Amino acid sequence: MNSSASHKAAHVTTRRLLDMKQNGEKISMLTAYDYTMARILDRAGVDVLLVGDSASNVFSGHSTTLPITIEEMIYHAKAVVKGVKEESGRAMVVTDMPFMSYQLSGEEALRNAGKIMKEHECDAVKLEGGRVIAETVKRITDVGIPVMGHLGLMPQSIYKYGSYRVRAQEEREAEQLLEDAVLLEQSGAFAIVLEKIPSALAAEVTRSLTIPTIGIGAGIECDGQVLVINDILGLNREFHPRFVRQYADLNTVIEDAARQYVADVRKRDFPSPDESY
């Protein structure tokens, strides 16, 4: 991802994220699925772009993250990496390993992590799970591929949970999550996403680790925050969970623009002579 062009900014690395935690600087992360958005978000100074398997929901319209394939993830990731490279080159790009691309065996996980890294030169991969995947995380990081963990609400396990409610509210699950976080750090993970867990637990996990935590619905004490770009832009009218802060209403902006265009075409207002050859 590092680029030699003169206008390029220093690329965000795993080392930089560690320093940010140590210096108390908050880490900003957003999802991105395409070239144009990646350019805008890199220009805006977002530290980490996550090519999330939430593309399965917000890009492809599936009801869960499970259907997206490794080829589809690579397709999105290639576009995002290209966007960052052609902008300032600053943002780190992390790609989600999709459901069943890393669960069957350590060997297959390593092959797929390698495929993701080789085919689009991203900076790291993200896997969901704790103790169950600790060995796999070690195997992947041992060959030099940085791994971001993901604990708490893990959308790839939605059929097991049966709902998207807040996780680890009971003591036993909270204790397990804390142990899982420590295990992931010991296995070589460079950061961990904490999704939809009580703020107090996220704070305890954050204090217990030397690697950064990135929260989504996990309170202010995490070392950084991540949200789905479509949610902060207000692209989805139906989805308003408590942990999302909506910064724009692009759903209305886009619909109004499209309505205006339709009207202009119908009344023969578009194209004008100035817009014609």
Residues that bind ligand KIV (CB under 6 A): 31, 50, 52-54, 96, 193, 216, 226, 228
Contact 138, 169 (CB under 8 A): no
What is the smallest separation between the CB atom of 226 and ligand KIV, expressed in angstroms? Answer: 5
Task: Choose between 35 and 275: whose C-beta lies nearer to ligand KIV.
Answer: 35
What is the smallest separation between the CB atom of 272 and ligand KIV, expressed in angstroms? Answer: 42
* CA dist 97 → 13, 49, 75, 214 (Å): 19, 14, 13, 17
Distance CA 29, CA 45 (A): 10
What is the smallest separation between the CB atom of 183 and ligand KIV, expressed in angstroms? Answer: 19
Of the candidates 180, 151, 179, the residue with the CA atom closest to the CA atom of residue 167: 151
What is the smallest separation between the CB atom of 167 and ligand KIV, expressed in angstroms? Answer: 13
Of the candidates 45, 64, 48, the residue with the CA atom closest to the CA atom of residue 56: 64
Contact 84, 39 (CB under 8 A): yes
Which one from 108, 195, 204, 255 is the annotated catalytic residue?
195
Active site residue 135: no
CA 257 to chain centre: 29
Task: Choose between 14 and 57: whose C-beta lies nearer to ligand KIV.
Answer: 57
Distance CA 275, CA 163 (A): 51
Of the candidates 143, 178, 139, 166, the residue with the CA atom closest to the CA atom of residue 242: 166
What is the smallest separation between the CB atom of 193 and ligand KIV, expressed in angstroms? Answer: 5
Task: Choose between 76 and 85: whose C-beta lies nearer to ligand KIV.
Answer: 76
Cβ neighbours, 10 Å, residue 239: 14
Task: Choose between 72 and 86: whose C-beta lies nearer to ligand KIV.
Answer: 72
Task: Choose between 96 and 123: whose C-beta lies nearer to ligand KIV.
Answer: 96
Task: State whether the Cα torsion 194-30-68-124 is positive or negative.
Answer: negative
Q: Cα-flanking dihedrals φ and ψ of residue 60, to 5°? A: -100, -10
Residue nearest to ligand KIV (CB): 52
Task: State whether the Cα torsion 58-62-66-67 is positive or negative.
Answer: negative
Residues carrying an active site annotation: 195
